[in-house]
């Protein structure tokens, strides 16, 4: 069965600092990988996705993520965070032929001035 | 940008009552989903729907739950006899094809009292 681990429950970063949110997945074949962001009281917004090809993917809002098969990881990065990036971030995994996405438990990002 | 619309945003119901959560997916999308997020927990898959039938469902989606696409635009989730543990945020999502990832609605917060 597929699974996703986000080891960091809560991360605090200063505005302007770089960010890396960790995501590890478990799945036998090549997965589809996603990062979603959820602001308080809002739905889930897709930041970026990986299916195949270039292992470094660019998303919206200046985010990027790198798929590393050897480490079963898909970490999310941003070189310089803004106060508006404060939110909950979810990594998710899916696969061709299986309808559902499996989500991680999320990482809450707090930005300090 | 097209969006998935969910109504109501918040619903309070008494235990044992039936509730219907409504969703209007993006018009050209073919795949429809319901997920839920119990407060403080991860987002969980409930059911997927394609070509007017359920294509996959989780163990959470028992006989108390049903989905329907009553017309060309709405997609509903019915809970026949609500329990306290059904209290959660329910997200509807749709996709044109699975590889594009899903567009999520902003959710309906269901509170069972």
Q: Is the pLDDT of residue A62 over 70?
A: yes
What is the mean predicted confidence (pLDDT) over A83-107?
A: 88
What is the mean predicted confidence (pLDDT) over B16-26?
A: 96
B77-110 pLDDT tens trace: 999 999 999 999 999 999 888 677 788 999 999 9
Torsions phi, psi for B18 (to 5 deg): -90, 140
Residue to mutate among B39, B41, B42, with most A CBs inside 10 A, is: B42
Buried residues in A23-43 as b, exposed as e (16+ CB within 10 A): bbbebeeebbbbbbbbeeeeb
Query: Do B110 and B87 touch, CB atoms closer than 8 A?
Result: yes
A16-48 pLDDT tens trace: 999 999 999 987 677 889 999 998 877 889 999
What pLDDT was estimated at residue A72?
A: 93
Cα(A69)–Cα(A17) distance, rounded to whole angstroms? 27
The chain-wide mean pLDDT, for chain B, equals 92
Query: Do A89 and A106 touch, CB atoms closer than 8 A?
Result: yes
Chain B positions touching A41 (Cβ under 8 A) are 106
Residue of A nearest to B107 (CA): A43
Chain B positions touching A102 (Cβ under 8 A) are 45
Cα(A70)–Cα(A11) distance, rounded to whole angstroms? 25
The chain-wide mean pLDDT, for chain A, equals 91
Residue B7 near chain A (CB below 8 Å): no
């Amino acid at each position: 069965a597929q699974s996703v681990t986000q080891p960091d429950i809560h991360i605090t970063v200063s505005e302007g600092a770089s960010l890396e949110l960790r995501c590890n997945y478990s799945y036998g074949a090549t997965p589809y990988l996603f990062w979603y962001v959820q602001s308080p009281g809002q739905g889930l917004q897709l930041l970026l996705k990986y299916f195949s090809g270039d292992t470094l993917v660019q998303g919206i809002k200046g985010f990027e993520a790198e798929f590393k098969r050897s480490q079963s990881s898909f970490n999310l990065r941003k070189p310089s965070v803004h106060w508006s990036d404060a939110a909950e971030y979810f990594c998710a995994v899916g696969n061709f032929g299986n309808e559902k996405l499996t989500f991680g438990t999320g990482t809450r990002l707090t930005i300090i001035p | 940008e097209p969006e998935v619309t969910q109504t109501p945003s918040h619903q309070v119901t008494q235990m044992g009552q039936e509730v219907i959560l409504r969703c209007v997916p993006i018009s050209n999308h073919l795949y429809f989903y319901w997920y839920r997020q119990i407060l403080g927990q991860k987002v969980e898959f409930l059911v997927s729907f394609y070509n007017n039938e359920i294509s996959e469902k989780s163990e959470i989606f028992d006989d108390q739950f049903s989905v329907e696409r009553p017309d060309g635009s709405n997609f509903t989730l019915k809970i026949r006899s609500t329990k306290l543990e059904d209290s959660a945020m329910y997200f509807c999502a749709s996709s044109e094809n699975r590889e594009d990832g899903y567009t999520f609605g902003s959710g309906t917060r269901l509170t069972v009292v």
